[in-house]
Amino acid sequence: MNQDRDDCESLAGSYDAAMADNEVAPRERLADLRRAIEDHNRRYYEEAAPIISDREYDRLFRELADLEKSFPELAAADSPTQRVGGKPLKAFGQITHRVPMLSLDNTYSEEEVKDFYARLERLLPNQKIPVVIEPKVDGVAVSLLYEKGILRYAATRGDGSVGDDITQNIATIRSVPKRLKGNAPDILEVRGEAYLDKNGFAKLNAERSKAGLPEFANPRNAAAGSLKQLDPAIAAQRPLGVIFYGTGALEGLALEKHSELFAELKKLGLPGTERWWVADSLEEILSAIHELDRLRHDFPYQTDGAVVKVDSLAQREILGLTAKSPRWAIAFKYEAERVETRLQDILIQVGRTGTLTPVAALEPVTVSGSRVARATLHNEEEIERKDVRIGDVVIVEKAGEVIPAVVGVRTDLRTGAEKKFRMPKNCPQCGSLVVKDEGQVAIRCVNSRCPAQLRRRIEHFASRGAMDIEGLGEAMVGQLVENKMLRDVAGIYSLDATTLSKLERMGEKSIGNLLAAIERSKSRPLWRLLFGVGILHVGVSGSRALANHFPHLDAIMKASVEELQRIPDVGEVMGQSIYDFFREPGNVETIEKLRGAGLQFNGEEKKPGPAASTIRGTTWVITGTLSQSRDEIAETIIAHGGKVTGSVSKKTNFVLAGEEAGSKLEKAKKLGIRVVDEAEYRKML
């Protein structure tokens, strides 16, 4: 992903030098921009996994549009400036919109809002031109068709003409009526933004983190991933909502103004925008934009701008459309809110592998509508690069209005009392010496008995992706470690009813459920145990590779570095880490306790898959968010005689790609490896 960002920055910065060749440079630059924008369109619309900000994308898009205007002979019908969004996904049926869904031109400049309104006045001379200002919801554009008040289908924007059929998933949203209220029009194609509310997003990410799943980057990606689940039961579990703001095809309802739509939506039982304004001068437009910026952080959904639309539908007809956008509307994007506050201290968090992470302790401040007192500082090198000092006035913003980040320092306000920060030489939790491996940024505590590491290791061991011990979450683990009832992961299997009854809020039923979950975990396969014990650099794929290669855990413990490094999906760094792990006396002691507790130490039994299976003998890589966990899918593939690895290579036969598939999908395409979606995978089964 970092390489993608570097490529994008290199692309954006190379133009001036390239223009030295007046004939070749524009053509090459156009080709580069089109290629980059197509890639970003795919990531944004199809994968819901963008790697650049909206502003970076808009800058590239604007440059492309300006170049095509300057060099019309180089314009192309298939340019991104002539199309909307991304292509529909194969896993879903397709729906043709009765009226195309266009996207809006964006701006971050009030001066360009002024230019937009001046253009309207030129195109509609001597006319009063009222406009509506409404929030720009940061969600996923959707279109729903109601016939005589009955919901017939729902679709994504897709390429603007054809979108994905997401009817089943939209139908799970409680605020979306399957039958409209009152006197419904014969045909109503209503447009809106599906979103995941802020509180629901935070809860969803907490649940994914606890289950060992990757967290969503922002609410928009989470909403997109939810709507594109093949199993509507998954979408039903997520707090999705929709805000409707416009129409496509419309029969049986006469409107003269856009502002009349809001009351009609309410009558029909369709959720509309929180606030909207009507203005007929530039001053009123800018005033509404500023007022919305003050109010929008209190909305339950994410917003990233204000949409300005001509109110009169008759005037819209006169103004018309471009190939991509209406001439009668523009989206003003707000800058990410930045505030200044005092950095009171830099604290250290210790992770399960011993990594020390610096965290900014801030004088509490409100950013984007919420109170912030902590922000990550990533690592020592980042602190040095930004020259962050304790006592500084720092600039804080919420990346995507979600994650607090220190983005700058007010060095001009320094008094001389500020203190430079140095990472500790000893772990703040246990006092042990810390180390920094050559070529690594991370600093780690190597004491396996460190209480902070112990809590994190036990939480990881019990997580859904590892040993899946329900009831052994963060709060419970914290109590057990604090009361010295657990000293390593093996201690889980010595817990009994008498011990657990001494803890807060542990009744007879809770104790019984936890002990039963612990007992069930003893039968988990070896790869889960290997993943659960938390060997540095060893993830799910590496754990599977070890369990598939060796007949027993003892064989893994005795293996040489060279033997380990020869295993596909292991390699040099991981192989050395595995070898070192089983040479540490504390780890060996823990393994022996687990053996005594009766856990599964045998490797994966090699069972032939169905003779007719098209999966037998093939190698798979699983990436992205799917309707089942990757572990469950991997077990199914293995049961059918296939093999699952963690990295794409020339030996890979298939890549199963779900939502938010990233670099693995890119590599598969570059190597010409067959990529299948979940529907195609299920047919192969």
Query: What is the Cα–Cα distance from 359 to 347, expressed in whole angstroms?
Result: 5
Contacts of 23-29 with C-beta under 8 Å, sequence gap 24+, read 26/67, 26/70, 26/71, 26/74, 27/71, 27/74, 29/67
**What distances in angstroms separate CA 93 from CA 153, 166, 662, one per listed residue?**
11, 8, 23
Name the percent of the chain in helix, strand, coil, to the closest 5.
40, 20, 40
- Write out the E strands in 69-199: 94-96, 106-107, 131-137, 140-147, 150-156, 162-164, 187-196
**Whole-angstrom Cα distance, residue 204 to residue 196?**
10
Picking from 425, 480, 472, the residue whose alpha carbon sits closest to that of residue 451 is: 480
For residue 202, which of 227, 172, 238 has the smallest C-alpha distance?
238
Q: Are 543 and 534 in contact (CB under 8 A)?
A: no
Give CA–CA dist 491/486, Å, rounded: 5
Count CB atoms within 10 A of the CB of residue 496. Answer: 9
| Token duo for residue 198 | 């802020």
Determine the Cα–Cα distance for residues 484 and 594; give it in Å rounded to an integer. 19
* Single-letter amino acid, residue 424: P
Residue 348, H or E segment: strand 338-350
- CA distances 253 to 148, 241, 422, Å, are 11, 25, 68
Active-site pick, 69, 128, 136, 667: 136
CA quadruple 363, 302, 158, 27: dihedral, nearest 10: -40
The owner of tokens 């090699």 is 606
> In this structure, are residues 598 and 529 in contact, taking their beta carbons and an 8 Å threshold?
no
Task: Name the nearest CA neighbour of 158 among 140, 180, 176.
Answer: 140
CB 329 within 8 A of CB 309: yes
The string of DSSP letters for 608-661 reads: ---TT-SSTT-EEEEESB-SS-HHHHHHHHHHTT-EEESS--TT--EEEE-BT-
Q: Which residues pair with 419 in a beta bridge?
A: 390
Q: DSSP 3-state assignment of 11?
A: helix
Contact in structure between 436 and 442 (CB atoms under 8 Å) = yes
Written as one string, the DSSP assignment of 80-108 is GGGS-S-PPPTTS-EEE-SS--PPPPEES
The C-alpha atoms of residue 171 and residue 152 are separated, in whole angstroms, by: 10
Give the CA radius of gyration of the chain.
Answer: 28
Cβ 309 vs Cβ 369: under 8 Å: no
Cα 381 to Cα 58: distance, rounded to the nearest angstrom? 31
List the structure tokens of 646: 């963690």
Residue 278, classified by CB atoms within 10 Å of its CB into exposed (0-12), middle (13-18) or buried (19+), is middle
136 is catalytic: yes
Residues with a catalytic annotation lie at 136
